[in-house]
Amino acid sequence: MFLADLERCTDSVLYNLRLLREIFYPRRCLVCGQSIDMGCFCANCRRSFLLQKVIRDTEQFKEVFLLYKYEQQLKEILHQVKFACCSNLLPLLREEAYLALPARLEYFFADYDIITGIPTSPERRKLRGFDVPEKIFSLAELGNRYVPVLTRVRNTLPLYELEPALRREELQGCFKVCRPVAGRKVLLCDDIYTTGSTMKEAAAALYDAGAVSVSALAFAASRDNWQ
């Protein structure tokens, strides 16, 4: 009882602190500087980053959902999160994900039995302190449905330095499925989609473990995927 009261009290203090901060330091769009309520961008600037592309029935995926264009300020924010470990930007990215997903989120996610993501290697996670896809896609509307299903059985080299064929080779067998997925429809989330080789390797592990379908959801996609 005491703990519940304490939690309520802490919540209310945090809420008031946030409110004060919003009043005295309004959040600003990272592109034009206009005052905003949610995410990183005003509606106008967000439009230039929105991709909201759906690719259906590829060889590996039932659907691929790509939310934003990986460029300019959005690319910079993701770099800050991934390489400078700026965890304070994660709630803003989560809000941006929410704004780019279909309006009736509960129906969108209801199509999948399992919602999971590409896992960060344990070493990188320890260094960073968090897992980026998990933080972006653990949306309040999802409740506790985002669950870890894959683990990395070995470290991989930074993929952006490798040619596509070498990426595939580097990734081969790097994921292990650690929860039952047989007969399940899986939605696999990641922060950045470039060649899709990481997602494809993860999908292969899920199919090997008996998943009936795998769909991919990426927060941002590189230019090659925009057309």
Q: Which residues bind Zn ion (CB under 5 A)?
A: 29, 31-32, 34, 42, 45
Smaller CB separation from Zn ion, 31 or 38: 31
In the bound complex, what is the minimum distance in angstroms from residue 173's beta carbon to Zn ion?
44
- Per the CB < 8 A criterion, the answer to whether 168 and 59 are in contact is no
29 or 74: whose CB is closer to Zn ion?
A: 29
Provide, rounded to whole angstroms, the least separation between the CB of residue 187 and Zn ion.
Answer: 30
Residues 6 or more apart in contact with residue 173 via CB below 8 angstroms: 153, 154
CB of residue 36 vs Zn ion: minimum separation in angstroms? 7
By beta-carbon proximity to Zn ion, the closer residue of 45 and 188 is 45
In the complex, the smallest distance separating the C-beta of residue 89 from Zn ion, rounded to whole angstroms, is 16
Closest CA to 218 of 98, 96, 67: 67
SS3 at position 144? coil
Eight-class DSSP state of 172: T
Nearest partner of 135 among 172, 174, 88, 101, judged by Cα: 88
Taking the C-alpha atoms of residue 43 and residue 107, their distance in angstroms, rounded to an integer, is 24
DSSP state of 28: B
Q: Shortest gap between Cβ of 73 and Zn ion (angstroms)?
A: 10
| Sequence-separated (6 or more) residues with CB below 8 Å from residue 213 | 62, 185, 186
Q: By C-beta, is 45 or 115 nearer to Zn ion? A: 45
- Is the Cβ of residue 45 or residue 64 nearer to Zn ion in the bound state? 45
